[in-house]
Amino acid sequence: MPKLDPMQLKDWEIAEAAEQRMRPIESIAGELGLAADEWSAYGRFLGKLETAQLLRRPWRKRAGYVDVTAITPTPLGEGKTTTTVGLVQGLGRLGKQAMGAVRQPSGGPTFNIKGSAAGGGLAQVIPLAPLSLGLTGDIDAITNANNLAMVALTARIQHENNYDDARLAKSFLKRIDIDPERIQLRWAMDFCAQALRNIEIGIGGKMDGFQMPSGFYITVASEVMAILAMSTDLKDLRRRIAGIIVAYTKSGRAVTTADLEVDGAMTAWLTRAVNPTLMQTIEGQPMLVHAGPFANIAIGQSSVIADRLGVTMCDYLVTESGFAADIGYEKFWNIKCRCSGLKPDAVVIVATIRALKSHGGAPPVKASQPLDPVYATENLEILERGCANLLAHIEIVKRSGISPVVCLNSFHTDTRSEVETVRRMAESAGARFASSDHWLRGGEGAMELAERVVEACNDETRFEFLSDLKAPLTSRIDDIVTQVYGGAGVSYSDLARAEIKRLELDPQTADLPICMAKTQYSLSHDPKLPGRPTGWTLPVRDVLLYQGAGLVVPVAGDIKLMPGTASNAAFRQIDVDTDTGRVKGLF
C-alpha cells in the first residue's frame, strides 16, 4: 500500500485508504485477552465490551493513566483527539501496550464547523464513517431515553389538566400537581439546531397536549449523557436515572423520572449504551469510544466505565477531556476522578503555534475563513505574549498535583525558533515539553511525546481535589473561578442566588460536585477575552440541578445548551459514493 501523505490527502481519504488494511476486531479483542463472553462483535471492525462481565474480574489499576487536555482553543480546535491517538501510536512504537479512551463524536460538530472527532492525518480512529455517523447507537439511545422522559412528563401534564381525580384514578394515575411553569427538562437532538432552543408545544386543542413553552438542548448536554459518563455500572446508571428531576409541583416538591414511573423504561434504552465501543487506530492499537463531547456545557469526558476497564487491559491508558484545562481537565480532576477512584499519572496539555498566536494578539481565527498571514510566518513577539495562556493551563494542572507534559501539535508552518520559544516557556514553568508531528507521521512522529509521558508517569504525584465537597457551593464556585480560571470573583443573578440558597439548605444537594457551563474560547466567561485575562468577574445567571447525575451546574455568561449551525457547515461537503456506498467528505 502506498504511503499516505496528509499534505496531499484529506482526512477522510486517509481513513478510507487505511480502512483497507484494518485488523478484524476479533484480533484486537484477542490481544486484550477478552474472553468470548466479555465482548460482542458489531460487524467485522466494531465491538462492544460487555461491561457486566468484565467488572466481575478482580479489578486493580495496572496501567499508567494519562489524561489529554489543551490550552484555550480557537474555533478550529487544537487537536486533542489527534494527539490522544498519536500518543497511543507513539507508545506502541516504544514497545508499550497502549490503548486510548475517547468520546463519541456528536452529530452537532460533525455536520457543522469542527467536523468529526476521529483525530486527523495519520492519527485517526477508524473506521471513520461508522464512528461519525451513529456508531453502535449510544447517542441515539441517550436521545430516546431523554425524550421518553419528556413524553411521560408532557402526557402527565395533559392528563392532569384535562381529567378530574376520578378519571385519573381509572387511568391508574395519581395527581402529582405538576407546575407547568417549573419544567426542568427539555427535548434532545444531536444536531446544532438553534431554531429549537425555545419553542411552544401543545398548540391546537386539548387533545394535542398542554400548551406551554419548551425547547431543545443538544443530546450531549442532556443529563442522561452525564449519567452515562459518570456511572460505574448498569446498577449505578439505573439509580441515577431514577433521580433525574423533570419538574416541580405547585407546592415546590421535586418531580423525578421515578415519580413518573418512566425510569425503568429509560434505562431499557440504555442497556447496550452502557458498554464502550471497541475500535482501533490507523496503526492497529485498541481504542475505546464512550460518552460524549462538549465540556463547555456538559461533563465532556470519556466514560468512567471505559477508563476503569481500560486501565486493567494495558500498560498505558490515554483518556481524553474536552476543550481546555480550565473546563475539561478541571471536570476530569474534580468530578470524574471522584467517580472513578482513579488518579492520573500524567497530563498532556496540547498547544499549537496557531492558538498561541491568537492569544498573543493576532487577528482572531474564524471558522471557514482564511487565516491571517501572521499564522504562517514567524512572529516571536506575538507568540511569546500568547504563551501566557499556556502558562495558565500549566498552573491549573500543577495545582492538582500533577507535573504536565506540554505537547506542541506541530504544523508545517512552525519555525524552529517558534518551537524553541514554546519549549523554553513550558520548561521554565516546570513542564516537560515535546514537539509532535503525529498528524504527519503517525506514531513515529509522536515518539518524543511518548517518551516524555513515560517519564512523567514515573514521577511521584500529590493529586488532590481543588475543594472539599463539604464547603459551601458559593465557596467552591469561587475556588474554580479564582484558582482555576484566574478571575477576581463571582457575581450572581437573583435567580442563581436563590437557587444556590435552596440547594445549600438541602443535605442531598449541598455537597454535590460543581460542573461549570461557560465558554471554551476564554479562561473567562467572555470569548472576546483571549490570553490570560485578569480582574474580571464571572457572572452566573442560573444554576441547574442534575440530581440524577449528582451535579450542580452554574451557567455563566451567554453560554447556550443548544449550539447553532454556521452558514458554511460541514454537511455541505458530505456525500455518498452510490456505487460503493462509502461516505466521503467527513473531516
User: In the numeric block, which cell numbers belong to residue 135?
Assistant: 456508531
Q: For 394-413, what is each residue's pLDDT tens digit? A: 999 999 999 899 999 999 99
Question: Is 12 known to be catalytic?
Answer: no
Residue 61 has a pLDDT of 64
323 is catalytic: yes
Residue in 39, 191, 433, 439 annotated catalytic: 439
Does residue 580 or residue 186 have the better pLDDT? 186
Q: Tell me, what amino acid is at 319?
A: T
* CATH, residue 504: 3.10.410.10
Q: What is the mean pLDDT of residues 426-434?
A: 98
DSSP 189-258: ESS--GGGSSEEE--SSGGG---EEE-EEEGGGSHHHHHHHH-SSHHHHHHHHHT-EEEEETTS-EEETT
Q: Could you tell me the residue range of the domain that residue 205 belongs to?
A: 138-269
Q: Does 94 lie in the same domain as 114?
A: yes
Q: How many contiguous H segments (helices) and E segments (strands) does the chain have? A: 21, 24
Among 36, 23, 59, CA closest to 286:
23
Residue 534 lies in a domain: yes
Boundary residue ending a domain (395, 426, 457): 457
Judge if 316 and 432 occupy the same domain.
Answer: yes
**pLDDT value of position 60:** 63
Instruction: Provide the pLDDT confidence category of residue 77 given band limits of 50, 70 and 90.
Output: confident
Joined grid coordinates for residue 21: 488494511
Buried b (16+ CB within 10 A) or exposed e, 325-355: bbbbbbbbbbbbbebbebebbbbbbbbbbbb
Exposed (0-12), middle (13-18) or buried (19+): which is 118, by Cβ within 10 Å? buried
Cell match 459518563: residue? 229
In a domain, residue 291? The reply is yes
Asked whether residue 579 is domain-assigned, the answer is: no
pLDDT tens, position by position, 201-242: 999 988 999 999 999 999 999 999 999 999 999 999 999 999
Closest CA relative to residue 223, chosen from 4, 555, 547, 565? 547
Whether residue 295 lies in the annotated active site: yes
Spell out the SS3 assignment of 109-141: HHCCCCCCCCEECCEEEECHHHHHCCCCCHHHH
Please identify which of the residues 295, 324, 351, 517 carries the catalytic annotation. 295
Of the residues 457, 491, 522, the one at which a domain ends: 457
Compute φ and ψ for 532, nearest 5 degrees.
-130, 75
Interatomic CA distance for residues 243 and 258, integer angstroms: 7
Pseudo-torsion of CA 13, 16, 19, 20, nearest 10°?
Answer: -100
Predicted local distance difference test score (pLDDT) of residue 570: 87
Q: Could you tell me if residue 1 is inside a domain?
A: no
Looking at residues 30-47, what average pLDDT do you find?
95
Q: Is 114 an annotated catalytic residue?
A: yes
Residue 256 has which C-alpha cell?
A: 423525578
Residue 510, φ and ψ in degrees, nearest 5: -65, -30
Q: Which of 29, 24, 27, 71 is nearest to 50 (CA)?
A: 29
Q: 126 with 142, same domain?
A: no
Give the pLDDT band (50/70/90) at residue 504: very high
| 157 and 125 inside one domain | no
Q: Determine, yes or no, domain membership for 569.
A: no
Catalytic annotation, pick one of 74, 82, 352, 509: 82
Both 296 and 409 in one domain: the answer is: yes
User: Are 228 and 149 in the same domain?
Assistant: yes
239 and 283 in a common domain: no
Average pLDDT score over residue span 322-326: 93
- Residues of the chain with pLDDT > 90, as a percent, come to 81
Residue written as grid cell 513542564: 431
Last residue of a domain, one of 269, 295, 328: 269
Quote the percentage of the chain above a pLDDT of 70. Answer: 99
Closest CA to 70 of 56, 81, 57: 81
Q: What angle do CA 394, 342, 125 make, to 5 degrees?
A: 75
Chain-centroid distance, C-alpha 52: 24
Give me the mean pLDDT over the 132-156 stretch. Answer: 96
- 151 within a domain of the structure (yes/no): yes
Residues 48, 80, 331, 452: which is the catalytic one?
80
Instruction: Let me know whether 105 and 143 are in one domain.
Output: no
For residues 317 and 453, state if they share a domain: yes
Beta bridge partners of 301: 321
User: Residue 349 corresponds to which amino acid?
Assistant: I
Which strand (E) or helix (H) includes residue 288?
strand 286-289
**Centroid of chain to Cα 392:** 21
Average pLDDT of the residues of the chain: 94
Residues 6 or more apart whose CB falls under 8 angstroms from that of 204 comprise none
- pLDDT band per the 50, 70, 90 thresholds, residue 294: confident
Distance between CA atoms of residues 535 and 117, nearest Å: 35
Task: Give the active site residue among 114, 441, 518, 541.
Answer: 114
pLDDT at 1: 46
> Do 120 and 161 have their domain in common?
no
Q: Give the CATH number, domain containing residue 155.
A: 3.30.1510.10
Question: Would you say residue 71 lies in a domain?
Answer: yes
Specify whether 488 is located in the same domain as 398.
no
Please tell me which residue in 48, 103, 186, 541 is annotated as part of the active site: 103
Q: Per the residue annotation, which of 411, 461, 560, 565 is the catalytic one?
A: 411
DSSP conformation letters of 483-517:
III--SEEEE-HHHHHHHHHHHH-TTTTTPPB--B
Which residue is catalytic, options 216, 323, 536, 587?
323
Task: For residue 59, name the pLDDT band (cuts at 50, 70, 90).
Answer: low
CB 426 within 8 A of CB 102: no
List CB contacts of 299: < 8 A, sequence separation 6 or more: 225, 226, 229, 230, 291, 331, 335, 336, 515, 549, 551
Task: Tell whether 325 and 259 lie within a shared domain.
Answer: no
Which residue in 187, 221, 188, 190 sits closest to 201, CA to CA? 187
Look at residue 68 and give its three-state secondary structure.
Answer: strand
Confidence check: pLDDT of 153 > 70? yes
pLDDT at 387: 98
583 belongs to a structural domain: no
The pLDDT value recorded for residue 397 is: 98
> How many domains are there within the chain?
3
* 75 has a pLDDT exceeding 90: no
Band the pLDDT of 170: cuts 50, 70, 90: confident
DSSP state of 321: B
Say what the pLDDT of residue 174 is: 86
Please enumerate in sequence order all residues whose Cβ is within 8 A of that of 140, keeping only pairs 6 or more positions apart, or say none: 134, 190
Cα Rg, the chain, nearest whole Å: 24
